[in-house]
A and B are shown apart, each in its own frame.
Chain A
């Protein structure tokens, strides 16, 4: 019963590098989302998806891309890393409107 799996757990990038944060869930949840968590700012929604093939922007989408080719996977791509993207990133999934979210354990990203 893995739930939501995020990889990697830690990553250091140089400014301008690109990378993909992986997120996979094995609960057949329709909804998946990416958040970033910064000190004093709570959770901010980056992108979300309500099903395979459907994605949309959240509150802070600039500098990030997503795709949802399968129900299980929802990768987050950083196109050209900037120090402002230093944060902890969480992936979450939900079975639908009545369900709570299940969160991954997070990826701590540092951009130098």
Chain B
């Protein structure tokens, strides 16, 4: 079965330190990969996506993600964390063939940035 795993329920990082939120997937073919962020009591916001091309993708709010095909991973990164980055982060994968635009979602990782 196709799946997306976010192995950490919660990640704690000190402000100013680099952060990584992990995502691995089990999908055949060449999927499209996405990261979304959810702030408290808000809807999800699109951060970035990988469709094809350069393995390092840059997105909103200084975030970037690295696609690794051999490890089937798409980890979210930021060089210097801000307290305002504290939120719930979701990884999602769109497996081919893309006939209905559906996404397979990870369970989410709560990111806590401590001042």
Contact = CB atoms under 8 A, between A and B. Distances in A.
B49 interface: yes
A58 B94 CA distance: 15
A43 interface: yes
B102 A97 contact: no
Interface stretch (A11-19, A61-69, A72-80, A99-107): A99-107
Interface in A22-61: 30-31, 33, 40-43, 45, 48, 50, 56, 58
A94 B72 CA distance: 25
A103 B43 contact: yes
B102 A101 contact: no
Given A48-B100, A97-B94, A101-B36, A42 B46 contact: no
B101 A50 contact: yes
B102 A42 contact: no
Interface residues of B, number: 22
Interface string A77-112: 000000000000010101011101111111000000
Interface residues of A, number: 26
Contact of A100 (B46, B106, B108): B46
A105 B40 CA distance: 11
A103 B108 contact: no
Interface of A: 4, 30-31, 33, 40-43, 45, 48, 50, 56, 58, 90, 92, 94, 96-98, 100-106
Given A42-B90, A90-B43, A102-B46, 13 more contacts: A30-B101, A42-B107, A43-B44, A48-B102, A58-B102, A92-B44, A97-B32, A98-B49, A101-B34, A105-B42, A106-B41, A106-B42, A106-B43
Interface of B: 32, 34, 36, 41-46, 49, 51, 90, 94, 98, 100-103, 105-108
3 smallest beta-carbon distances between A and B, as pairs: A100-B46, A103-B43, A97-B98
